[in-house]
Amino acid sequence: MPDSAMVHEQETLILQTLEQFLERDVRPYVMELEHNDIWPEEIVHKMAELGLFGAIIDEEYGGLGLNTEEEARLMFEVGKAAPAFRSVFGTTIGIGSQGIVMDGTDEQKSKYLPKLAAGEIVGSFCLTEPNAGSDAKSLQTTAILDGNEYVLNGTKRYITNAPRAGLYTVYARTNPEDKGAGAVSAILVEAGTKGQSTGKIDKKMGQKGTQTSDLVFEDCRVPATQLLGLEEGMGFKTAMKVLDRGRLHLAAACVGMARRLIDDALAYAMERKQFGQPIANFQLVQAMLADSETELYAARTMTLDACKRRDAGEKTTRAAACAKYYATEMVGRVADRAVQIHGGAGYIAEYKVERFYRDVRLFRLYEGTSQIQQLIIARDMIKSAS
Ligand code: COS
């Protein structure tokens, strides 16, 4: 059942409809996704019809206007399906469009948010480069003002949804002499702009159906009005603010995934018999179930607390990093135990935990590795104590 604490009737309805959609249309397709590596258009269409692409975009732009806590409760359900399902719309509503929501001009919001909310275009967040991953501030892509246009040059790497996106928020250096964060700006680039191209689709360990690739700019010209917020030098801060929210979204998705993995492992343990009885009767198996349930409870509580604080207007950089760090590490341990409980079956694709085991590995890497979260948490602790 969807989470009963969801306060508004509208959100309860969304969760119920979503649950039916996941059960009826999404879950049966997930195994095919492993081979096809792409979501069929009808499923993407249905995601849009349900309003998923506009979940956290304001109602005035056609979205559902969910707050952070409501978004987390939505992700608790979505996470149960498949991480690749989340990323089609999750990247659009999260890091793919939040830059515009947070720092766009009214004109930029009116131009792009309705299309993003309706799922007419997919949004993509373009920060990482071949030589700038964890050290995002050192990015080298340039966007130089020439008359009333910016000219972009450089390569972005591992860009989620790059092959199918309609709009890229590209973080680039508008003053190449300045190597600091203050010279980074966010530029909105529409797909198909001359001088912009995507590389070959990356072959990944998991999360089949989520397509990532390089995004290359060679003298790509966009009107100067595509500068986010019409203010140079604000891009790095925008990216950090977007990631602060995105990390809560990911933490919530991990909670959903852990729920699914524990439910599957429990069902298997109660059905599978060894030594004349269900393996769930054995205390060593029970220990694995209990550890997983306890850690899930902690991650869920932590994520909701951070979301509530954010909704109350608190700065939640540290709390979001804690939630992302704990929830992503937690789901890694839960997936490992789920495979262990399944025994040999856990290594076989048809039992599905094998897919989750590969899929969840990415959560500890993207939107900031676990080590980056540790660094953000500790730095903030030191700053507060100084
Ligand atoms: N919100 C608002 N502003 C922020 C911020 C936040 N959460 N975090 C940093 N800033 C601001 C700082 O206040 C600073 O501004 P001033 O120069 O005006 O003081 C500026 O941004 C630079 O910050 P800082 O000096 O702390 O940057 P660092 O390079 O030392 O470290 C980390 C920043 C490591 C936290 C950052 O690079 C990071 O998050 N890296 C991981 C990137 C990532 O997640 N990549 C995945 C891409 S998406 S798949």
| C-beta of 269 in contact with ligand 1 (< 6 A) | no
Residues 106-154: pLDDT tens digits? 999 999 999 999 999 999 999 999 999 999 999 999 999 999 999 999 9
How high is the pLDDT of residue 1? Answer: 44
How high is the pLDDT of residue 5? Answer: 52
- Residue 111 makes CB contacts below 8 A (sequence gap 6+) with none
Q: Which regions of the chain are under pLDDT 50?
A: 1-4, 6
Ligand 1 atom with the smallest distance to the CA of 135 is 37
Domain spans in the chain, listed from the N-terminal domain onward? 4-117, 123-234, 237-385
267 CA from centroid of ligand 1 (Å):
43
Which residue of the set 11, 69, 232, 367 is catalytic? 367
User: pTM of the entire structure?
Assistant: 0.95
| C-beta of 181 in contact with ligand 1 (< 6 A) | yes
Q: Is 23 labeled as catalytic in the residue annotation?
A: no
How high is the pLDDT of residue 38? Answer: 80
How high is the pLDDT of residue 82? Answer: 80
Mutational pocket test of ligand 1: of 236, 241, 249, 371, the residue with most ligand atoms within 8 Å of the beta carbon: 236
Ligand 1 atom with the smallest distance to the CA of 246 is 48
* Topology of the domain covering 123-234: Butyryl-CoA Dehydrogenase, subunit A; domain 2 (2.40.110)
How high is the pLDDT of residue 56? Answer: 92
Superfamily of domain 237-385: Butyryl-CoA Dehydrogenase, subunit A, domain 3 (1.20.140.10)
145 CA from centroid of ligand 1 (Å):
24
How high is the pLDDT of residue 350? Answer: 84
Domain 4-117 and domain 123-234 have a common topology:
no
| C-beta of 365 in contact with ligand 1 (< 6 A) | no
| CA-based nearest residue to 85, from 50, 31, 39 | 39
Q: How far apart are CA 178 and CA 184, in angstroms?
A: 9
Ligand 1 atom with the smallest distance to the CA of 241 is 1
| C-beta of 238 in contact with ligand 1 (< 6 A) | no
Say whether domain 4-117 belongs to CATH 1.10.510.10: no
| C-beta of 376 in contact with ligand 1 (< 6 A) | yes
Ligand 1 atom with the smallest distance to the CA of 244 is 7
